[in-house]
């Protein structure tokens, strides 16, 4: 039996807070180091390649370990794995803050990234399992604002903390402040997170799997999917390393290697499923139409958001000549507007809620289209651009929160780890891809004689608007094919129905090699 916390408002609120603080710590730490990098370089006298690796090692290790970390939650329980990750993250932050050389700092950053994957994968799984109906919608709303706000808050805090030189620690305070926060949240987690039983140890039957089917049968027959785990990590790194480092030139060959690695991963996972094993990446629930379309829309909007945060900083400081502290405050309007989406979704009628992913994408597209048009600058003021960003942030909040509602309704709870691993891995990969592609385009346009920096900003915003317009179409397809319960109390029935659809699809995949 899985733990249920929805019946106790105080306990559920504190448990959700514990989960979201871990999510926030991981997101803030991803962004905050970018602004601390110059101080690190001056203090430790590191080379440019080492500095780049220090910044990217966190994201790379986090991306590689996301899928295995999600599976650990299945085998050992959400509570236990989350607390493991939080403890390791706190210790790794202490090691980063005390590092006296670049190799020690890089290794510590790798440990931070691995620990972050243990935490963030359990957040969505915990929400999926422990909350239902309107409580789940509200929890997903707060999770969405945490995802968005962490990166922006990291940008604001990075320069502020380094400039403040807290107790003479300089850049080290960026990491050392995680230690007391992590310790406090760890104590709260031990006291407040519900004890859940690992799904791999359950006995009896699962809803939707058929009577008499042991829940642990797949594990006992198939064992651990080590080959699939290695292939998944290799394919992820083959995509992320060239996009993150760009040097030396030969690493771009890894992008070509990613295609056969991904193909072999799919073949391997199908064979593991066919023999009753537990695949590293279970592709079965991802084949349902609402899941495919929702993930496509989620990935596209995430790509544009991460790219916008990166390029906005360059535009505000490089073209509009704003000071760093003011440029860091501009995205806060986006984050605050993002936070309004969760309460809105929890209060609208079901018929209206189904249109929110599309409405959110339309608002986001409008914001990208207006961003290069409104007046902005040190002389004319920044409030028009800030207002436009608020519209975009609200639209992104509507889209992401409602799409996660679609996903958690369409995917049975027994696939919660698969969903969490997929969403988090996808967010990391498309985020890095968006920064690499749009960042390169912005730099090229800015250097060209026929465009220049102001025109480059306009072209990039137009490209972002085009992507989100396509995401709006995908969002429409997602809600058109998603389960449509009469009211939130019928969510469990919709989940059982989705599980039955997945089970019908699994049989030909497991027994017929040529099935798709």
According to DSSP H, which parts of 45-77 are helical?
Answer: 48-76
Three-state secondary-structure class, residue 32: helix
Average pLDDT value for residue range 478-484: 79
CA-based nearest residue to 494, from 220, 263, 288: 288
| 240, pLDDT greater than 50 | yes
Q: Which residue has the tokens 């990750």?
A: 85
Instruction: Give the rounded distance of the alpha carbon of 266 from its chain centre.
Output: 22
Digit-coded pLDDT (tens) for 179-189: 999 999 999 98
Q: What is the mean pLDDT of residues 473-493?
A: 66
List for the chain the helix, strand, coil content (%; round to 5).
80, 0, 20
Which two tokens mark 436? 């690499």
Residue with tokens 């706190």: 90
Has residue 285 got a pLDDT over 70?
Answer: yes
Q: Give the largest Cα separation in the chain, rounded.
A: 72
Tokens of 30: 């991803």
Please give the residue that has the higher pLDDT: either 255 or 105. 105
Residues in a beta bridge with 377: 381
> Cα–Cα–Cα angle for 465, 469, 471, nearest 5°?
115
How confident is the model over 60-119, as pLDDT tens digits? 788 778 878 877 877 788 888 999 999 999 999 999 989 888 888 888 998 998 899 899
Whether residue 408 has pLDDT greater than 50:
yes
By CB neighbour count within 10 A (0-12 exposed, 13-18 middle, 19+ buried), where does 444 fall?
exposed
pTM: 0.70
Res 328 pLDDT > 70: no
């Amino acid at each position: 039996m899985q733990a249920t916390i929805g019946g106790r408002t105080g306990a559920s609120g504190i448990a959700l807070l514990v989960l979201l603080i871990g999510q926030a710590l991981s997101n803030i730490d991803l962004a905050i180091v970018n602004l601390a990098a110059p101080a690190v370089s001056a203090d430790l006298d590191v080379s440019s390649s080492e500095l780049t690796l220090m910044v990217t090692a966190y994201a790379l290790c986090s991306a590689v370990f996301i899928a295995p970390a999600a599976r650990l939650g299945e085998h050992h329980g959400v509570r236990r794995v989350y607390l493991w990750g939080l403890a390791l993250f706190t210790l790794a932050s202490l090691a980063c803050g005390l590092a006296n050389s670049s190799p020690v700092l890089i290794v510590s950053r790798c440990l931070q990234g691995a620990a972050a994957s243990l935490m963030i994968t359990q957040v969505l799984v915990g929400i999926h399992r422990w909350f239902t109906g309107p409580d789940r919608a509200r929890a997903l709303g707060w999770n969405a604002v945490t995802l968005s706000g962490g990166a922006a808050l990291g940008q604001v805090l990075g320069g502020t903390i380094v400039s403040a030189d807290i107790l003479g620690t300089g850049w080290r305070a960026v990491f050392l402040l995680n230690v007391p926060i992590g310790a406090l949240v760890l104590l709260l987690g031990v006291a407040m997170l519900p004890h859940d039983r690992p799904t791999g140890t359950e006995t009896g039957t699962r809803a939707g799997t058929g009577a008499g089917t042991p829940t642990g049968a797949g594990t006992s027959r198939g064992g651990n999917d080590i080959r699939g785990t290695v292939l998944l990590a290799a394919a992820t790194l083959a995509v992320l390393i060239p996009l993150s480092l760009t040097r030396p030139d030969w690493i771009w060959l890894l992008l070509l290697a990613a295609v056969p690695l991904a193909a072999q991963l799919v073949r391997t996972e199908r064979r593991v499923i066919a023999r009753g094993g537990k695949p590293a990446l279970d592709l079965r629930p991802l084949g349902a139409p609402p899941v495919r379309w929702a993930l496509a829309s989620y990935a596209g909007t995430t790509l544009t958001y991460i790219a916008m945060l990166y390029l906005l900083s360059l535009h505000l400081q490089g073209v509009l000549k704003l000071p760093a502290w003011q440029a860091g405050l501009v995205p806060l309007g986006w984050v605050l507007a993002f936070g309004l989406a969760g309460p809105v979704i929890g209060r609208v009628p079901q018929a209206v809620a189904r249109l929110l992913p599309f409405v959110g994408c339309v608002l986001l597209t409008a914001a990208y289209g207006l961003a290069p048009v409104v007046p902005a600058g040190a002389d004319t003021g920044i409030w028009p651009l800030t207002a436009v960003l608020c519209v975009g942030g609200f639209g992104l909040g509507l889209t992401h929160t409602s799409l996660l509602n679609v996903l958690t309704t369409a995917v049975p709870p027994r696939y919660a780890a698969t969903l969490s691993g997929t969403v988090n891995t996808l967010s990391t990969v498309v985020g890095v891809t968006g920064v690499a592609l749009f960042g390169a385009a912005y730099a090229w346009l800015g250097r060209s004689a026929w465009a220049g920096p102001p025109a480059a900003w306009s072209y990039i915003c137009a490209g972002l608007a085009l992507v989100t317009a396509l995401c709006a179409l995908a969002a429409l397809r997602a809600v058109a094919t998603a389960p449509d319960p009469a009211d939130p109390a019928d969510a469990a029935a919709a989940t059982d129905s989705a599980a039955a659809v997945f089970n019908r699809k699994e049989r030909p995949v497991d027994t017929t090699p040529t099935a798709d």
